[in-house]
Amino acid sequence: MNELVIKNLCVKDRELSADAAYKGEFEYILKDINISINRGDSLSILGPSGCGKTTLLRTIAGLQNPYSGEIFFRQKNMADVPTHKRNFGMMFQDFALFPHKNVFQNISFGLEMKKLSKKEIALRVQEMLELVNLEQYGKRDIRELSGGERQRVALARTLAPSPDLIMLDEPLGALDKQLRERLLDDLRFILNRSISKIAKTEKIKSNLNQIEVNNAITTIWVTHDHNEAFAVSDIVCVMSSGKVEQIDSTENLRNRPANRVVADFLGL
Name the site residues for another protein (rule: CB under 8 A).
12, 14-19, 21-22, 24, 26, 58, 61, 63, 65-68, 79-80, 82-90, 92-94, 96, 98-100, 109-110, 113-114, 157, 161
d(CA 184, CA 139): 26
Residue 196 host element (H or E): helix 177-205
10 Å CB burial of residue 223 (0-12, 13-18, 19+) is buried
For another protein, the closer CB: 19 or 177: 19
Q: How far is the CB of 267 from another protein (least distance, A)?
A: 30
Q: How far is the CB of 172 from another protein (least distance, A)?
A: 16
Q: Coil, strand or helix: which one is 6?
A: strand
For another protein, the closer CB: 53 or 226: 53
Q: How far is the CB of 15 from another protein (least distance, A)?
A: 6
d(CA 4, CA 146): 35
For another protein, the closer CB: 15 or 136: 15
Q: Coil, strand or helix: which one is 91?
A: strand
Q: How far is the CB of 171 from another protein (least distance, A)?
A: 13
Nearest Cα neighbor of 82 from 98, 57, 62 is 62
Q: How far is the CB of 88 from another protein (least distance, A)?
A: 6
For another protein, the closer CB: 10 or 231: 10
**DSSP-H helix ranges across 79-146:** 103-113, 118-131
For another protein, the closer CB: 132 or 261: 132
